[in-house]
C-alpha cells in the first residue's frame, strides 16, 4: 500500500508532496491554511477528492489560527479562509463540496466549539472519501475481466483521492479479486502525473504497467492491445459530460473509434447537478511555463507562445458507464446521475 497522501497529525496537516514524486518521498507538516492553499495551487496535493479533503483540513487549520473570541468576527474571518480555498483551483467540484460542508459545520455556542466541529467534519469528509472510493472500486472491478489490459490517463489512485483510488482503485480491486491484468499508463503531459505517479503506485501494487507517451494511445488501440479505458473525473455535469485531465477527451474519441469501452470512475462528490451541460464546467488555465518546460528545464525556444488548459470535457456519448459508490450508471445519464448526485452550489 502506498504512503498516506494526507494525514491529520497533532493538529497539523501532513501531506506527501506529490510534485517531488517519484524522485523523492517528502512529507510536509503544514500548520497554517496559507500553506495548504499554496500546496493545492502548486499541486503538491492534487486529484479531485484529495483536493477536497486537504481543503477541509486546511479550513480547520485556518479556524485554529483565527485570534478573536467573538463569534461574529470569527465567522467573518473563517469566510475569508474559505474564499482563499475556493480560489485555489476551479475545476474539481470536490473542493467546493468540501467547502460547502465545512460552512454548514461552522456551528456551535462559541468559537472553541466551532473549531472542534470543523476538525470533526474534516475527518468525516476524509473517512467518507476513503469509504466511497473503496466501494466504487469494488463495484467497478466487475467490469474488468481476467486477462484485461487497461489504459488509464493522469493519476486516479490513492494519491489523488486520499483514499483507495478511483480509476486505479478499480484496477487494484480487480487484482485483489485474483484477476490477472496489465495497465498502459499515459505519461500525461504537461505535468506527467501518469509517468511520475500512476506508474509509481502500480509498481508498488505489483501490477504490470507499461508507460507510453500520450500520442501512442491510438497506435496501441489499433494494435488491439487495449481492452478498456478507465479514467477519473474532476466534475461530472447532470448531462453526463465529464471533465478530467487534458487529453481525456482525445482518448474517449479514440476508444469510441476502436470500439473499446470507456469508463469514468468517480465518487458522487464529483457530481455537480447544478450544471446542466459539461461546457459550463470551469476549465483551469495553468501557466504556459508548464508546457515550455519539463521539471524546470526549458524544452522550447524562449518566448514561444504556449497554451495550457488543465482539463477537457468528454461528452456522454463517448462514455460507456460511470462508476460511483452508489452504483454503475449507464446511458442515458441524466436519470441515473439525478438519483446519486447532489445539487449543492
Residues that bind ligand MRU (CB under 6 A): 46-49, 92, 154, 156, 160-161, 166, 193, 231-234, 244-245, 310
Give the span between the Cα atoms of 237 and 279, in whole angstroms: 9
User: Closest Cα partner for 239 from 272, 263, 261?
Assistant: 272
Pairing of strands 149-152, 228-231: parallel
Minimum distance from residue 298 beta carbon to ligand MRU (Å): 22
Cβ distance to ligand MRU smaller for residue 64 or 315: 315
Cβ distance to ligand MRU smaller for residue 74 or 318: 318
State the greatest distance between any 2 C-alpha atoms of the chain, in Å, as a whole number. 67
Cβ distance to ligand MRU smaller for residue 114 or 243: 243
234 labelled catalytic: yes
Cis link prior to 88 (omega < 30° from 0)?
A: no
Question: What is the separation of C-alpha 154 from the centre of its chain, rounded to a whole number of angstroms?
Answer: 10
Q: Distances in Å between the alpha carbon of 119 and those of 59, 142, 265?
A: 9, 36, 28
Query: Are 3 and 52 contacting, i.e. CB atoms less than 8 angstroms apart?
Result: no
Cβ distance to ligand MRU smaller for residue 118 or 173: 173
Cell triple for 211? 508507460
Cell triple for 128? 467518507
Q: Which residues pair with 203 in a beta bridge?
A: none
Give the span between the Cα atoms of 285 and 98, in whole angstroms: 22
Instruction: Please identify the residue of the shown chain whose CB is closest to the bound ligand MRU.
Output: 232
Buried b (16+ CB within 10 A) or exposed e, 327-342: bbbeeebeebbeebbe
Give the span between the Cα atoms of 43 and 35, in whole angstroms: 12
Annotated catalytic residue within 35, 234, 272, 312: 234
Cβ distance to ligand MRU smaller for residue 232 or 336: 232
Give the span between the Cα atoms of 210 and 183, in whole angstroms: 6
Cβ distance to ligand MRU smaller for residue 28 or 283: 283
Minimum distance from residue 243 beta carbon to ligand MRU (Å): 8
Q: Distances in Å between the alpha carbon of 58 and those of 72, 102, 237?
A: 20, 10, 27
Helix (H, G, I), strand (E, B) or coil at 312: strand
Cβ distance to ligand MRU smaller for residue 244 or 320: 244
Pairing of strands 242-245, 228-231: unpaired
Minimum distance from residue 197 beta carbon to ligand MRU (Å): 8
Q: Distances in Å between the alpha carbon of 209 and those of 165, 202, 203, 308?
A: 16, 7, 7, 27
Which residues form the catalytic set?
234
Amino acid at each position: 500500500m502506498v504512503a498516506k497522501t494526507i494525514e491529520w497529525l497533532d493538529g497539523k496537516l501532513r501531506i506527501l508532496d506529490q510534485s517531488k514524486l517519484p524522485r523523492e518521498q517528502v512529507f510536509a507538516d503544514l500548520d497554517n491554511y496559507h500553506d495548504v492553499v499554496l500546496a493545492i495551487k502548486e499541486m503538491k496535493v492534487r486529484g479531485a477528492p484529495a483536493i477536497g479533503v486537504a481543503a477541509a483540513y486546511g479550513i480547520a487549520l485556518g479556524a485554529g489560527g483565527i485570534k478573536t473570541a467573538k463569534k461574529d468576527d470569527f465567522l467573518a474571518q473563517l469566510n475569508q479562509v474559505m474564499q482563499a480555498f475556493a480560489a485555489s483551483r476551479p475545476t474539481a467540484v470536490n473542493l467546493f463540496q468540501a467547502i460547502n460542508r465545512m460552512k454548514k459545520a461552522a456551528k456551535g455556542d462559541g468559537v472553541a466549539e466551532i473549531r472542534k466541529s470543523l476538525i470533526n467534519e474534516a475527518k468525516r469528509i476524509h473517512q467518507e472519501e476513503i469509504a466511497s472510493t473503496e466501494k466504487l472500486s469494488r463495484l467497478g472491478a466487475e467490469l474488468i475481466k481476467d486477462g484485461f489490459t487497461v489504459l488509464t490517463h493522469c493519476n486516479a489512485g490513492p494519491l489523488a483521492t486520499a483514499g483507495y483510488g478511483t480509476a486505479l482503485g478499480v484496477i487494484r480491486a480487480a487484482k485483489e479479486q485474483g484477476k490477472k491484468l496489465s495497465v498502459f499508463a499515459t505519461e500525461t503531459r504537461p505535468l506527467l502525473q501518469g509517468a511520475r505517479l500512476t506508474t509509481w503506485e502500480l509498481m508498488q501494487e505489483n501490477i504490470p504497467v507499461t508507460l507510453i507517451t500520450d500520442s501512442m494511445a491510438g497506435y496501441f488501440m489499433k494494435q488491439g492491445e487495449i481492452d478498456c479505458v478507465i479514467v477519473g473525473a474532476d466534475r461530472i455535469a447532470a448531462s453526463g459530460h465529464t471533465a478530467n485531465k487534458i487529453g481525456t477527451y482525445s482518448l474517449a474519441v479514440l476508444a469510441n473509434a476502436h470500439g473499446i469501452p470507456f469508463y469514468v470512475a468517480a465518487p458522487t462528490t464529483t457530481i455537480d447537478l447544478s450544471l446542466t451541460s459539461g461546457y459550463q464546467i470551469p476549465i483551469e488555465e495553468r501557466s504556459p511555463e508548464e508546457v515550455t518546460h519539463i521539471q524546470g528545464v526549458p524544452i522550447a525556444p524562449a518566448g514561444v507562445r504556449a497554451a495550457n488548459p488543465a482539463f477537457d470535457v468528454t461528452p456522454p456519448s463517448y462514455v460507456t458507464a460511470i462508476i460511483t459508490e452508489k452504483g454503475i450508471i449507464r446511458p442515458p445519464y441524466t436519470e441515473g446521475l439525478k438519483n446519486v448526485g447532489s445539487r449543492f452550489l
